[in-house]
Amino acid sequence: MIGILSALGASIAWTISSSLWKQLTNKKHSIQLNTLKNTIATLLFLPIIFQLSWLKEFYSISILFISGSVGIAIGDTLYFSALRRIGTRKTLTMEATAPILASLLGAIFLEETISFRTWIGAIMVAISVVLIAQKNISEFTHISDAKSNINRSGILFAFGSIVCGVIGALISRSVLSQGSLMPLETSAVRILGAFLTLLFISPSINKLVLQDVKKTNFNFTLIILATLLGTNLGILLQQIAFQKLPVGLAVTCLSTSPVMAMFFAKREGDHIVRKDLLACLLSVLGVAVAFA
């Protein structure tokens, strides 16, 4: 039950933070926002980072660095790019394909046993994504070529973030299952890994971030709130879910965000139709079946 509640809590935190980030993605480059987000999150986790047994846990920490680099540094940058193009609800709904991928890879690489109900639930969640994707494809014929390309790239960025997120989750789960590090510690290490990766791969972007910080060109209230919810709290709850549940089950429950994102759709000018409601209902039912 703790794992389920943690996953649902993370889903709520990510949905709210995604809506906040959406307000910022139209103004700043995705890597800029991701760098600033992970810088703030790393500073907040410094007390945890300093008390880690770096030599004793060197192998686990190294693995978690990779998890943070792939899942957070690369995955979140792609995620912000998707938010900019297709909005909160559509991005989160596209993310609902993650349960099938996570279940499959968890069974292959971690030798986790996936029940028939879990597969059925994951497939139901994935069908909800197909409904949304069909809507986006049909819209391509009624909009300009420029807008069509933006939507297509948004879908590709969203799927890219899914793949990175699932790979990061699998790596993180492999460490958590050993029990040597606690969820709070693995969260801090993953975020630190993402922060260092972004510093290394985007030095020019980092200069822009520093310039904007000096000029106070950021809405820091929104950024800090979004970081606390989506990064510090969201990843901590995610890590607890990964510790308590198999990856497939955890990711299935984490994929309920599209339902919650419907509350922010009107605010972003995103019109809800009957097919959207059906997609969200399937997502909820899929999670219910998986945990039945």
Quick: pLDDT tens for 233-266.
989 998 999 888 887 778 777 776 666 666 666 6
Strand stretches in the chain, DSSP E: none
Closest among 176, 163, 181 to 49, alpha carbons compared: 181
Over residues 189-210, mean pLDDT: 78
pLDDT in tens, 152-174: 788 889 889 989 989 998 898 88
C-alpha span between 188 and 41 (Å, rounded): 8
pLDDT in tens, 50-107: 999 899 999 999 999 999 999 999 998 898 888 888 876 677 667 767 777 777 788 8
C-alpha span between 244 and 182 (Å, rounded): 11
Q: For the chain, what is the mean pLDDT?
A: 78
Does 194 have pLDDT greater than 90?
A: yes
CB atoms within 10 A of CB 217: 13
pTM of the model: 0.76
**Residue 88: which residues within 8 A CB-CB, separation 6 or more?**
15, 18, 19, 22, 261, 264, 265, 268, 270
Helices (H), 45-115: 46-50, 58-68, 75-94, 98-109
- Per-residue pLDDT, 16: 85
C-alpha span between 132 and 140 (Å, rounded): 13
